[in-house]
A and B are shown apart, each in its own frame.
Chain A
């Protein structure tokens, strides 16, 4: 079956703009998590959505938000972009949120903020 897809793959924005990234999970998966990956901070958890509800949240400012639709597709939004937001944004899907299970990562969206 098809893996996790993320669009767009690459994005260039300027400071102060906002951006929306999209993630389509594996068919049947209801949990979508988002991670930020930078050379300095590594992989950091942003948030997790399950059945359209945010279940977990990492330590990121309120400029970072997300949502999940009834078909489990998820979007994350970053408002008022800063240079430090330049990163690879990864989403991961899992079958469920209520027990430990394998998470499958997409290829990521590379965001560059100028």
Chain B
């Protein structure tokens, strides 16, 4: 498949463990944040989103935490599975940037070992 990033930071976890992927965002005016998952040969896939007026949001096996004070976003994946292996990107939408203009972080590669 295609490589989406040759020099991305990699998080290696054992199957069944919890994973935490971190992201620092740049624009304090951003009011909407999204986590995407990108598997080899595919486009990014929406995982979960959070608005700036929230600190935490939970989905199925995933939780996103937002700390606006330090401009930090994290994605927690519970009971990580081999199918979770992918590159994960955080993205922000600045309030004045237009609703579909995503600003992506650099990405983190998650490698799940059986």
Residues of A participating in the B interface, judged by any CB pair closer than 8 Å: 4, 31, 33, 35, 37, 39, 42-45, 48, 50, 55-56, 58, 88, 90, 92, 94, 97-108, 110
Asked if B102 CB lies within 8 Å of chain A CBs, one says yes
User: Are the C-beta atoms of B43 and A31 separated by less than 8 Å?
Assistant: no
User: Are the C-beta atoms of A42 and B101 separated by less than 8 Å?
Assistant: no
Asked if B114 CB lies within 8 Å of chain A CBs, one says no
Instruction: Give how many B residues have a beta carbon under 8 Å from the other chain's beta carbons.
Output: 29
User: Are the C-beta atoms of B100 and A48 separated by less than 8 Å?
Assistant: yes
CB distance from A101 to the nearest CB of B (A): 7
Given contacts A56-B97, A97-B99, A108-B43, whether A88 and B32 have CB atoms under 8 Å apart is no
> Interface readout for B1-17 with A: 1 if CB under 8 Å, 0 if not?
01111110000000000
> Interface readout for B89-114 with A: 1 if CB under 8 Å, 0 if not?
10101000111111111110000000
User: Are the C-beta atoms of A39 and B3 separated by less than 8 Å?
Assistant: yes
Given contacts A56-B101, A94-B100, A107-B41, 10 further A-B contacts (CB under 8 A): A4-B43, A31-B100, A42-B106, A55-B98, A55-B100, A90-B43, A90-B44, A92-B102, A103-B46, A106-B43
Question: Cα distance A44–B5 when bound, in Å?
Answer: 13
Question: Cα distance A104–B42 when bound, in Å?
Answer: 11
Given contacts A106-B43, A108-B43, whether A45 and B2 have CB atoms under 8 Å apart is no
CB distance from A17 to the nearest CB of B (A): 22
Chain B positions 56-114 with a Cβ under 8 Å from a chain A Cβ? 89, 91, 93, 97-107
Question: Cα distance A39–B87 when bound, in Å?
Answer: 12
User: Are the C-beta atoms of A43 and B44 separated by less than 8 Å?
Assistant: yes
CB distance from B97 to the nearest CB of A (A): 7
A105 partner residues in chain B, CB cutoff 8 A:
36, 43-45
Q: List 21 A-B contacts (CB under 8 A).
A: A4-B43, A39-B3, A39-B5, A39-B6, A43-B107, A55-B98, A55-B100, A56-B98, A56-B100, A56-B101, A88-B2, A90-B44, A92-B43, A94-B100, A97-B99, A98-B99, A99-B99, A100-B32, A102-B46, A104-B46, A108-B42
